[in-house]
């Protein structure tokens, strides 16, 4: 009897320990999650994991290269990488990035077996793609998080153990990309051309971080770095702002045919060890239109009725809509 009581006590202790070890989790808004203090440090720590919903702003392969390569041993080189941005809706004026890397073991503090082999990383990517989400879809992301150079990202905390996997659920397909908010460089930079930082996130760069925005009537200070992953600077003649190019198939050496002045549509990003600085506009793709540095999907989000993207919403767009609809109907009938 005493042995039974003792065993029961031990089991009770173990079970209690397991319960206490379970990660805490809460559904939060992007605004709550991305809150910062006066130094730009993130303040959210209420739970171990979070659940966030929002609209996916781009296709992941247009941002980072997910191609795995486990032969890389260079310190801090994570090999294949995958990242998305999704933004809050209505009053939730903020957004969040979600990141997955392959070779965490190239970080000095991670164990040698802490990364993914090529096969394992492909399996991880396949797991994430099971939901078959695309830009303009409403998604729900659940996971752990870490702060990185100004953003609080959902990620695996550099841990390849399956218990640190984040998950992505498709909540609603085809909701549509949000219309990019029109922002001037005066909204982002002060009179000395320094970034405007507001710890309350009600103005300046923090207000627009991880959201789709549009800056009009600018030009390149220097376009020599045009190409996939290039880093450029735009100006309105008084102030400047950095632009990071993605790796969409319309961005390559020689594809820059933009007018002398043009508009830019992209995602407000931040990447700097100085947490009140390092803001930039991340542009995923370019469709060669000549007047707006953006991919086709982001241009349509800016002018949703302009189906042929000629800058004018008119009967030609309606005719194009009918043509596309009839073509889709024929395809659907053919598949019956």
What values do phi and psi take at 265, rounded to 5? -120, 125
The pLDDT-based confidence of 21 (bands split at 50, 70, 90) is: confident
Could you tell me how far CA 31 lies from the centroid of its own chain?
A: 15
- C-alpha 295/C-alpha 174 separation (Å) is 17
CA within 13 Å, CB half, 70: 13
- For the segment 209-235, the average pLDDT, to the nearest whole number, is 97
Strand partners, 81: 101
**Strand pairing class (151-155; 81-87):** unpaired
- C-alpha 23/C-alpha 144 separation (Å) is 9
- For the segment 17-38, the average pLDDT, to the nearest whole number, is 88
Q: Collapse the DSSP code of 17 into the 3-class scheme (helix H, G, I; strand E, B; otherwise coil) and give the result.
A: helix
The pLDDT-based confidence of 304 (bands split at 50, 70, 90) is: confident
pLDDT over threshold 50, residue 7: no
- The single-letter DSSP state of residue 243 is E
pLDDT over threshold 70, residue 137: yes
Q: Dump pLDDT digits (tens) for 36-63.
A: 999 999 999 999 999 999 999 999 999 9
User: What percent of the chain has a predicted confidence (pLDDT) above 70?
Assistant: 85
CATH of domain 181-302: 2.40.50.140
- C-alpha 168/C-alpha 141 separation (Å) is 5
- C-alpha 267/C-alpha 237 separation (Å) is 22
Question: What is the per-residue pLDDT for 274?
Answer: 97
pLDDT over threshold 60, residue 13: no
Q: Which two tokens stand for residue 103?
A: 């070779």
Question: What is the per-residue pLDDT for 210?
Answer: 98
Residues sharing a CB contact under 8 Å with residue 74, sequence separation 6 or more, in sequence order: 106
Question: What is the per-residue pLDDT for 305?
Answer: 64
Question: What is the per-residue pLDDT for 318?
Answer: 56
CB-based burial label for 14 (10 Å; 0-12, 13-18, 19+): exposed
Question: What is the per-residue pLDDT for 308?
Answer: 55
pLDDT over threshold 70, residue 310: no
Question: What is the per-residue pLDDT for 196?
Answer: 98
Question: Which CATH architecture best describes the domain 25-172?
Answer: Beta Barrel (2.40)
Residues sharing a CB contact under 8 Å with residue 128, sequence separation 6 or more, in sequence order: 82, 100, 168
The ranges assigned to domains in the chain are 25-172, 181-302
Q: Dump pLDDT digits (tens) for 314-326.
A: 555 555 545 555 5
Question: What is the per-residue pLDDT for 10?
Answer: 44
Q: Is the fold of 25-172 the same as that of 181-302? A: yes
User: Cα–Cα–Cα angle for 205, 49, 120, nearest 5°?
Assistant: 100
Question: For the chain, how many helices (H) and strands (E)?
Answer: 7, 14
Residue 25 contacts residue 47 (beta carbons within 8 Å): yes
pLDDT over threshold 70, residue 86: yes
Residue 120 contacts residue 127 (beta carbons within 8 Å): no
Average pLDDT, the chain: 90
pLDDT over threshold 50, residue 11: no
Residue 101 contacts residue 112 (beta carbons within 8 Å): no
pLDDT over threshold 80, residue 307: no
pLDDT over threshold 90, residue 78: yes
Residue 211 contacts residue 183 (beta carbons within 8 Å): no
Q: Collapse the DSSP code of 301 into the 3-class scheme (helix H, G, I; strand E, B; otherwise coil) and give the result.
A: helix
pTM of the model: 0.86
């Amino acid at each position: 009897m005493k042995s039974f009581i003792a065993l029961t006590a031990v089991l009770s202790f173990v079970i209690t320990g397991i319960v206490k070890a379970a990660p805490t989790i809460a559904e939060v808004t992007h605004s709550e999650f991305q809150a910062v203090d006066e130094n730009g440090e993130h303040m959210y720590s209420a739970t171990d994991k979070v659940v966030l919903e929002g609209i996916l702003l781009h296709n992941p392969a247009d941002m980072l290269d997910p191609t795995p390569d486990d032969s890389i041993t260079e310190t801090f080189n994570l090999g294949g990488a995958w990242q998305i941005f999704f933004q809050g809706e209505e009053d939730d004026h903020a957004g969040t990035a979600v990141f997955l890397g392959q070779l965490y073991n190239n970080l000095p503090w991670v164990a040698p077996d802490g990364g993914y082999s090529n096969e394992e990383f492909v399996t991880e990517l396949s797991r994430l793609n099971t939901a078959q989400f695309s830009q303009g879809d409403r998604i729900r992301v659940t996971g752990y998080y870490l702060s990185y150079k100004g953003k609080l990202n959902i990620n695996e905390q550099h841990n390849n153990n399956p218990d640190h996997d984040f998950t992505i659920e498709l909540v609603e397909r085809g909701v549509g990309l949000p219309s990019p908010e029109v922002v001037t460089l005066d909204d982002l930079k002060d009179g000395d051309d320094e970034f405007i930082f507001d710890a309350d996130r009600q103005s300046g760069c923090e207000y627009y971080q991880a959201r789709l925005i549009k800056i009009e009537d600018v030009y390149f200070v220097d376009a020599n770095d045009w190409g996939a992953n290039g880093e450029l600077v735009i100006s309105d003649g008084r102030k400047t702002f950095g632009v990071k190019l993605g790796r969409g198939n319309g961005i390559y050496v020689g594809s820059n045919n933009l007018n002398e002045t043009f508009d830019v549509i992209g995602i407000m990003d931040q990447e700097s060890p100085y947490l009140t600085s390092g803001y930039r506009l991340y542009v995923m793709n370019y469709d060669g239109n000549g007047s707006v540095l953006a991919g086709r999907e982001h241009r349509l989000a800016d002018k949703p009725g302009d189906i042929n993207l000629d800058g004018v919403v008119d009967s030609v767009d309606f005719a194009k809509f009918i043509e596309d609809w009839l073509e889709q109907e024929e395809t659907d009938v053919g598949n019956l």
